[in-house]
Amino acid sequence: MKKLLLILLFFPMVGFGQYSSYYGTVDVNANVNVNKNVNVNSNINKTVRTIDYGALAAANATRERNRIENLKMENLKDKEAIIAIASDPSKAFDYGKDNNWVATASHFKKKKSDTRGYRKFTYYHKIPHKSLFSRINNGYNYQNLSDDGIETILEMGDIRKTEYVLEETKLFREFGGDRKRLVNILIEANENSLEEALKFNDIVVGEVYDLKDEFGISGFIHKKDLNKATVFGLEGFVATIISEDDYEYKITDFYYAINRNGEIIADTKAIFSGDKDEISFEDLEGRRYYFRKLFKRTIGSAQYKDAK
């Protein structure tokens, strides 16, 4: 992965602190040259402790049920939704709102940089019920704040034509631009498959990185994982990076898929984070597990309709 390797050679380093041992014994001693890749002498015990997901899910359900029951119920439909969601958070999908955003000719004329390689499309996804998630920023990004201090953000991505992504990357090389989207790096690394790219082989467990601009991640890398996932109706993967810096614990899930003929790529992202003074990695794992079914349904069912 040439592009990814190039980026990893030049990012700045963050400070070193006391790291959690939740995912194994951590012993880090480092001398860092900020102009080179991190060289961390570390002894990582990669045996991850057993996580009781059932107990964590039950605790999350109880806390969320108490919070939801205190919400103001404006009508009977809201009451039915809140009762159902309190028992099963995936019901936030069933009681969510269908979103169909139509990209018309006038949109493309006004925003030529936002065509994604298409001349026409309708972007569909289910907006999770408002009792669990609020929309933030200008895009389709949704936030949940738990009573115990965990922030969960679902960043609904989109589908782009491969040729459009390549054009974006070329423009970046020649004129400068926005390289925050992982998709640019994945397509440039076309000598490897998507699966290989999402293994993040250039990011080493037990070392410290500053990848805020590229991936929204900085600090000590505790664990990487890769599993299959359905993304915008396509067979794809979810790549997980678990990290911590001086302030936060974070679990980031990157969802990506490429269709069989390689013409389009779809992506989205889920982030679970919290202040180190308030929460633990166990709390994050519980929250992530609590939302797993809702996110699978939301990310898997999103699609572009009538795309040309």
At residue 44, the pLDDT reads 31
30 pLDDT band, cuts 50/70/90, is very low
State which residues form the domain around 267: 2-56+134-301
Is position 236 within any domain?
yes
Is position 93 within any domain?
no
Number of domains making up the chain? 1
Is position 140 within any domain?
yes
Where would I find the beta strands (DSSP E) of the chain? 26-30, 40-44, 97-103, 121-127, 134-136, 141-145, 150-155, 159-161, 208-211, 217-231, 234-244, 248-258, 264-275, 303-305
pLDDT at 285 over 60: yes
Is position 292 within any domain?
yes
Q: How far apart are CA 121 and CA 114, in angstroms?
A: 12
Is position 117 within any domain?
no
Q: What percent of the chain has pLDDT over 70?
A: 67
Q: How far apart are CA 241 and CA 231, in angstroms?
A: 18
Sequence letter at residue 32: V
At residue 114, the pLDDT reads 57
Hey, which of 67-76, 90-99, 106-115, 156-165 has the most confident mean pLDDT? 90-99
Is position 164 within any domain?
yes
Q: How far apart are CA 204 and CA 284, in angstroms?
A: 21
241 pLDDT band, cuts 50/70/90, is very high
Is position 148 within any domain?
yes
pLDDT at 2 over 50: no
Q: How far apart are CA 126 and CA 93, in angstroms?
A: 7
In this prediction, residues 205-222 reach a mean pLDDT of 90
Is position 86 within any domain?
no
pLDDT at 194 over 60: yes
